[in-house]
A and B are shown apart, each in its own frame.
Chain A
Amino acid sequence: MSLESGELDDLTLKIGRKPTSTELQIVAAEWSEHCSYKSSKKHLKMLPMKGPLVISEKGYDSGVLDVGDGYVITAHIESHNHPSAVEPYGGAATGVGGVIRDILSAGTRPIAIFNGLRFGDIEKDLHARWLFKNAVKGIADYGNCLGIPTIGGEVEFDKCYSNYALVDVAAIGFGKKKNLIKNHAKTGDIVVLLGGATGRDGIGGSQFASDSLESENRSAVQIPDPFIEKLIIEAILEARTENLIHALKDLGGGGLSCAVSETADALSIGIEMDVDKVHTRELNMNPDEIMVSESQERMLIVTSNDKLKKLEGICKKYRITCSVIGHVTLDNMMHVKKGEKTCANLPTDVVANATLLDRPSKKPAYLENIENEKKLKPILDYTKMMMKFIASPNIASKIWVYGQYDHEVGIRTVVKPGKDASVLRLDNGKFLSAKIDGNPKHCYINPREGAIGCFEEACRNVVCTGAKPIGMLDHLQFGNPENPEIFWTFLESLKGITDFAKYFEIPCVGGKVSLYNETPSGQIKPTPIIGILGLIDKTPLSTQNISKGDCIVIVGQTKNEMGGSEYFEYIHKFIGGKCPTVNFLESKINMNSVLNVITKGLVKAAHDCSKGGLAVAVSELCMTYQIGCNISLEKVPNQKLDVDRILFSESHSRYLLVLEKKDLKKLETLLKKSKVEYNVIGVFGGDHIRFNKESKNIIDLSVDKSQKIWFNSLKELVLHG
């Protein structure tokens, strides 16, 4: 645990003397990539962060959006990749805990959890299966115990994550605007540490996360305790209601070092604290350990002396410990003492602001020929292929995962998991729709277009519930940024996300960068994740049955964009080809038109066309609503493509709309008016899913049989291999 050599000189120069050992620990934690964003910060400024609904305050760990009538939602995304790769249960669980405390820091009650999980090829790789199973259990046990519903997410398997895990957790909070904690502090205020005791777990966690995963450093993994977290949530919200909190900060990466220095820096104050006052789990912890321990379930509160008694009363009720560890000073210094002895005395701006880097970037060599396609073996029996496809881990239903998450608690979940996006009811009569999406297969082939695609896909998903996107969370996960080729992919993805966000005026309300995602066997594929928050003013498009005779309409063009598709990669084992790109204008027209017809109540169900292409999207509708259909592939708007491309291309900006025949005319009038490319491609009915081309049958699946396989294959794979 140390600074890089240049950084030690930098620190010495900035403070004008040699740092003490505690100072070194504090700065090493805070200047780690994980806490400082030193590689990415310069570039992240390009993202649009302002918007009419965005509320920004000093020192918030989560984004805040005004949803009207005096209410706000807060949102944040985090990952816990390194810990989860070593200890998936604890790593994933503490990942949930951390992001929940970020939501709590703004003074809002957490109301939903989302998770994005990525592992190696679980069909062949037993270790990947073990990681998957235990990460899911970790999230379930933590979120369920807190009573915060886990209502959505995504799961993906790809060989690039072998011996590794990406565990992304996003959370949403809700509260009254007037209850938001407006972080402030004045000289003489006291600094209180509330919650779990500080132990030796998670020491050096942030540096561990800022390095390649070469050795399994288990002591760097934190230990979860959701029961304590639940008590902290209730205690903090009670203290907030009683106005006992001046400023609030979660202890996450970098532990006390980070929380104290960042609070002081954000509020332009100094903090003097005594490590002897910190309640510890173990005896004889030295100041360095106390300052960088990442023990979980801790919050830092700034309050005044006269409010302390009430705060202590609340803590006593919930039987959680709170210790006054220091006070606010005028001098903008972070002064750490052990009794009378000074262990560290550093300017807060030096600690909280690492020197930012301008890393070199270079287009990766592998991209030169990646778009070339090879000749593929023809598929002789598409029905057989489809049965294999819907059973494949990436296409199969994720019910085995979300069935272990309490997604009903809180009684807000109007649209349940398993649909395009989940929808929550809010106290002002509006609805919040949210979804997270990633697509490393596309991003590997084209980091810019792939990232834009994730953004559009997440938007499409919330649009399918009738919501208008109002805010975005980004989580940028890449390999080692010191490698110029990796850094290039990071920059490309970021630029793509920025362009799309600006064009659609969707502000970025929160985000996270996770670098050094690599294992001895290599770097991960570029894995940006986008979370979209959408707002519905009146009624969400939710469950209705699809009946015999209902029509199915496709909006959008199916293009020859097979690169990174599940069809190429899973069926043909081929990585390459041109990946789907988003035409911004077309995207906007399609999105607005679909939203318009949903709002007008013309549509019974809407479903986005993405992974696995049209064939999978149609089958998902049929399997979810348990009804057959007949699709005429020649009616799908496309560029004279071969049948496999029409079926499995993952072109963006496409939506499937289900409606009663009587509403078709009205729908067509509206779609024609907005100049959307669309066509009626089939009719529901019967108990078979049939795709035909010019009256020749291509695919014929029994709904019952395929539904059974789609629902059960993931569970079968995990439990019985």
Chain B
Amino acid sequence: MNVAVIVFPGSNCDRDMYHVLTDVFKLNATYFWHEKGLPKNIDAVILPGGFSYGDRLRSGAIAAHSPIIKDVKKMAEKGVPILGVCNGFQILVEAGLLPGALLKNTSLNFMCEWTSLIVENNTTPFSNKLKLYQKIPIPIANGEGRYYVDSETLKQLKKKNQIVFRYSDTVNGSSDRIAGVCSEDGNVVGMMPHPERAAESQINPNDNKPASLIFESLLNAIGVQN
């Protein structure tokens, strides 16, 4: 079982994600620099958060053109579980792997705070261990985290069950309080909040179990007994 953690210039949650995958959930994980190719035996791909290319042009816009994205797209087509967190989500959107766009928060500020998610789709590789409408205490940390889709696309998202997580309160002005979405096939998931910051009891002031289930869902999806 091998999970690829992709590192772009300016990624800064790569090490956090790696720690949680390996030390907490005992998965094999490997860093892949954005210029490398992905080997065929990868079971899941994670695009961690950060400020790839210093958020120049638009968050995620430059990283979406990295050489490795070609391989990520191929894996996406093959149905390999792919998760983008925060900047990783922005990159997946910019790469066209997920619908919508991420705009500046309505507060116009960077926001770092604990919030609560509601599970809207528990069939993806990153949510299958969660209960529908279960709440997840989790932190956000972003300046451009307001998910936006036009009303037609929103209808489609709802129809195709592509909304994975919603904020339980209005946090940043996202369309329909969307915090995370998936591809039509469900294997590509993007979310703005940081599950890797909420999966351990030591650093989660509320309850770390729900966020842990995001990782346990992945273990479940790629066939690792836990």
Contact = CB atoms under 8 A, between A and B. Distances in A.
Given A319-B9, A410-B16, A411-B16, A140 B110 contact: yes
A407 interface: yes
B9 A231 contact: yes
Nearest to A230: B10
Contacts of A413: 203
A411 B112 contact: no
B111 A226 contact: no
Contacts of A407: 112
A405 interface: yes
Contacts of A410: 15-16
Contacts of A414: 202-203
Given A403-B111, A410-B16, A411-B16, A227 B53 contact: yes
A409 interface: yes
Nearest to A539: B202
B196 interface: yes
Interface stretch (A66-74, A143-151, A277-285): A143-151
Contacts of A231: 9-10
A409 B10 contact: no
A529 B53 CA distance: 35
B56 A411 contact: no
A709 B9 CA distance: 42
A416 interface: yes
Interface in A602-654: none
Contacts of A404: 109-112
Interface in A362-417: 402-414, 416
Interface string B92-122: 0000000000000000011111000000000
B19 interface: yes
Contacts of B139: 408
Contacts of B200: 411
Contacts of B51: 144-145, 147, 226-227, 230
B113 A409 contact: no
Bin chain B's interface residue count: 20 to 34
A318 interface: yes
A406 B205 contact: no
Contacts, number: 81
Given A144-B110, A145-B55, A318-B9, A409 B141 contact: yes
A416 B13 contact: no
B30 interface: no
Interface string B130-145: 0000000001010100
B50 interface: yes
Interface in B31-65: 33, 49-51, 53-56
Nearest to A407: B112
B54 A227 contact: yes
A318 B139 CA distance: 30
A447 to B, nearest CB: 37
Contacts of A542: 205
A225 B111 CA distance: 21
B206 to A, nearest CB: 9
Contacts of B9: 227, 230-231, 318-319
A406 B112 contact: yes
Contact of B56 (A144, A227, A319): A227
- Of A147, A227, A318, A402, the most chain B CB neighbours within 10 A belong to A147
Nearest to B14: A147
B197 interface: yes
A406 B54 contact: no
A543 interface: yes
- Of A144, A406, A412, the most chain B CB neighbours within 10 A belong to A406
- Of B10, B15, B33, B196, the most chain A CB neighbours within 10 A belong to B10
Contacts of A318: 9
A317 interface: yes
Interface in B171-209: 194, 196-197, 200, 202-203, 205
Contacts of A319: 9
Interface residues of A, number: 31
Contacts of B56: 227
B111 A416 contact: no
A412 B10 contact: no
Given A145-B55, A412-B203, A406 B33 contact: no
Contacts of A411: 16, 19-20, 196-197, 200, 203
Nearest to A109: B15
A38 interface: no
B12 interface: yes
A145 B196 contact: no
Contacts of B10: 145, 227, 230-231
Given A408-B141, A409-B141, A145 B54 contact: yes
A226 B110 CA distance: 16
B141 to A, nearest CB: 4
A425 interface: yes
Nearest to A425: B202
Given A227-B56, A230-B12, A408 B111 contact: no
A227 B196 CA distance: 23
Contacts of A317: 33
Contacts of B54: 145, 225-227, 230
Interface string B1-17: 00000000110110110
Given A403-B111, A408-B112, A146 B203 contact: no
Contacts of A225: 54
A404 B142 CA distance: 9
A146 B12 contact: yes
Contacts of A147: 12-13, 50-51
Interface in A396-451: 402-414, 416, 425
B112 A405 contact: yes
Given A144-B51, A227-B10, A425-B203, A408 B197 contact: yes
B108 to A, nearest CB: 10
Contacts of B16: 409-411
A466 B2 CA distance: 40
A265 B20 CA distance: 45
A607 B203 CA distance: 20
Contacts of B33: 317
A416 B205 contact: yes
Contacts of A543: 205
Interface string A695-721: 000000000000000000000000000
A416 to B, nearest CB: 7
Interface in B132-160: 139, 141, 143
A639 to B, nearest CB: 39
B55 A409 contact: no
A508 to B, nearest CB: 31
- Of B50, B197, B200, B202, the most chain A CB neighbours within 10 A belong to B202
Nearest to A227: B54
B13 A403 contact: no
A147 B111 CA distance: 14
Interface in A9-39: none
Contacts of A403: 109, 111-113
Contacts of B20: 411
Interface string A220-249: 000001110011000000000000000000
10 contacts: A227-B53, A230-B9, A403-B109, A403-B113, A404-B111, A409-B49, A410-B16, A411-B197, A413-B203, A425-B202
Interface of A: 140-141, 144-147, 225-227, 230-231, 317-319, 402-414, 416, 425, 542-543
Interface of B: 9-10, 12-13, 15-16, 19-20, 33, 49-51, 53-56, 109-113, 139, 141, 143, 194, 196-197, 200, 202-203, 205
Given A144-B141, A145-B12, A147-B51, 20 more contacts: A144-B110, A145-B10, A145-B51, A146-B12, A225-B54, A227-B56, A230-B12, A404-B111, A405-B112, A406-B110, A409-B13, A410-B16, A411-B20, A411-B196, A411-B197, A411-B200, A413-B203, A416-B205, A542-B205, A543-B205
List 8 tightest A-B contacts by C-beta distance, closest first.
Answer: A147-B12, A227-B54, A145-B51, A406-B141, A411-B16, A408-B197, A543-B205, A406-B112
